[in-house]
Amino acid sequence: MAITEKLGEQFNAIHKVIWIILLPVILDIGELYFFERIFHWEYMPVTKLFSLKLGFISAPPSIRYILEDFPSLIFQYNTGTFRGVITQINLTNMLLLLSVVLVTSFLDSGYLAVISQAGRKRVNCKDFFIEGNRLWFKFFILALLKVIPTLLALIKKEFAYFSLVTVVFVYVQYSIVVDHVSLKDNFKLGISFLLNNLGLSFRMGFSFGFLFSIAGIFICFLTRSGFNGIVLGSMITAYFGAVMNKAVLEIYREVSEKQSKMVQEISVI
């Protein structure tokens, strides 16, 4: 499979739902704005001009993929220290975190649902809310599982390494929007896809990461000019990130359908 060719095919699909890139931009800039206001600290990127990225950008994409020191309002574990509103475990913080996860899981589900349907049918903002609501609970459970390692790190910093385990969930979010099955089966399909396609996953992670690393040079130049540069850099990240999200999703859809068809043919024989 020509991964870069598959990537190129997705630009037209994203252009049909170009409004969706506003979501990650609003999330990034909103988080930065409130972080600076709450902590009275002006953020200036200190990341390297070029940093080789390996792996998939998040969905929705975030400029944090390029600017590794980009602040997180709620909580962030970085270089052995905690930053953000939540730096310890107590009832208030857990309720706050639960509320944030509820909101972000809805936004994640609506975003990926729109990306999934882009280029296949006409999609508008109404579909974002309808599909987001339909898949909300599944994304909420997935988000909770991903956040557990960071919570454990609040108890003991060494537990932060457990976050590596969540790599096995990388395709579960794509299974949720592509495969119309139960959440339990979404986890089975997503994890088995990764295990059965390690070579493909590595090639995608390297190809998409390398391409984004090149784009990251320009984005870093922009962000060094201040807040306006960060906004523009976030928009570029959101655009190319959406294209890559769509490429991963379509590759997942195509390969899983082929493998499912092969299994059915073998079972018939």
Kindly calculate the radius of gyration of the chain based on its CA atoms and give it in whole angstroms.
Answer: 19
- pLDDT value at position 265? 60
Contact 85, 154 (CB under 8 A): no
Whether pLDDT at 129 is above 80: yes
Chain mean position to CA 1: 23
- pLDDT value at position 70? 87
Span 29-41, mean pLDDT?
A: 87
Residues 231-248 pLDDT 10s:
999 999 999 999 999 999
Span 197-203, mean pLDDT?
A: 93
To the nearest whole percent, how much of the chain has pLDDT over 70?
89
Whether pLDDT at 48 is above 70: no
Pinpoint the alpha helices (H) of 60-122.
91-117
Span 40-47, mean pLDDT?
A: 79
- pLDDT value at position 149? 81
Helix (H) or strand (E) holding 77: strand 76-78
Closest CA to 208 of 66, 67, 64, 57: 57
Instruction: Report which of residues 160 and 118 the model is more confident about.
Output: 118
How many Cβ atoms from other residues are within 10 Å of residue 219's Cβ? 25
**Per-domain boundaries in the chain:** 3-267
